[in-house]
Structures are given as structure tokens and as C-alpha cells.
Structure 1
Amino acid sequence: MATYRSAATLSSADGTRTPGTAALFAEPARKGGNPPWAGDFRPSNDAGYGPKNAVGKTFTLELPNGNTGKVVVQSLKTGKGGVTLALMGEDAPPF
């Protein structure tokens, strides 16, 4: 299971960019397909609660090395640590 944890940016179709931290993981691929991947995204403190009405929408996750991946926001959780968006990846993992 590959893992990735670092700074990232979540970009919406309208060009809005939300900086934060991504914690991602990938499962082994099944029969030569793309490995499924998912993870969490925590917007940085100055980004507030992140994108508005994000659940169910598709975004582009940009990593510091220039790699990108399409993600769908599955849920949004708020707690002591701030806001966390649960992500489900599409296509090949960018890490």
C-alpha cells in the first residue's frame, strides 16, 4: 500500500485554489488496472473551511512535484483539528 503525506492544493473547475495538506494511500491494482486510491485533505488555516458545497464535486489535487489527480469529495468533517475532506481518487494515483 503506497502512501503520501505532504502539502497539496485542491483546485476547482472555476479556478479556485485551496492550499492544505493531503494524506493519501493506494491499494494494490486489480488485474492490471489502476490502483484505487483515496485519502484526506486538510485546508490550511488561512484557507478557512475549504471549498464551499464540496461534497460530491470533482476537484484536481495538485502535488508539489507537479503531479495532479482527479478526486471526488466524499464527505466533510469538522472537529478540534479543523476541517477534513475525505477524497476518493479517479484514474491513476498522482504519487
Structure 2
Amino acid sequence: MPTFRSAAALLSADGARTAGTAALFTEPGRNGRIAPWAGDFRPAADARSPKDAVGKTFTLEMPDGRTGKVVVQSLKTGKNGTTLALLGEDVAPF
């Protein structure tokens, strides 16, 4: 499936909300299982990245209210800002 890009918010267990942009994709499901999904999340320029996010579970909220659980796999910081690599759980919210 092509990459799905959209505004999104990352919600932590303590209720902290980080606005940003998500770039998500799915892979073909196998043996009747839920299709795995993953992607990247870039916090908005004025948003703070979640602290100690790697390995933690968050809720990814799409603009239309759909949500999905994600685990942060890694965090990269560069000249273009911070990017969090996400691995989805359950059904994709897009």
C-alpha cells in the first residue's frame, strides 16, 4: 500500500499530546491475520518530542478521530527535526 500521510497527534499514557505529521504504511496480511503497519511521526515545529519514548506505547490519533496503538521503535534527531519510528499494534487507523 502507498504511504498514507496526514496530520496526527501522539498521545502518551499520562495524557500529554504531541501534534505532528504521520507517514504510515501497511504490509500485506498473512494467513488471515491483521495486516502489520508502521511508519514515522514528526512532531510539529512548535511541539516537544515525548521524553524517553523509545519502547513505550502511545496512541496515534488521526484528524477524523480514529486511533491506533503504536510502539516507538527508535528516535532520530537531525537538522530537519526529530523523527519517531512507529510500529503499529492491532488494526491500522487509516
TM range (shorter): over 0.9
Secondary structure at the counterpart of residue 3 of structure 2: strand
Task: Give TM-score, length-normalised by structure 2.
Answer: 0.97
Are positions 1:30 and 2:30 aligned together?
A: yes
Secondary structure at the counterpart of residue 93 of structure 1: coil
Q: How does 1:1-95 map to 2 (within 5 A)?
A: 1-48=1-48, 50-95=49-94
Structure-2 separation of matches of 1:10 and 1:2: 22
After superposition, give the CA deviation of every residue in 1:68-90 in whole Å (9 maximum; x if it has no partner).
00000000001111000000000
Task: Give TM-score, length-normalised by structure 1.
Answer: 0.96
Q: Residue 2 of structure 1 contacts residue 27 of structure 1 at CA under 8 Å; is this kept in 2?
A: no
Aligned residues: 94
Q: Which stretches of structure 1, 4 residues or more, deviate above 2 A after TM superposition? A: none
The structural deviation recorded for 1:2 is: 4.5
Unpaired runs of 5+ in structure 2?
Answer: none
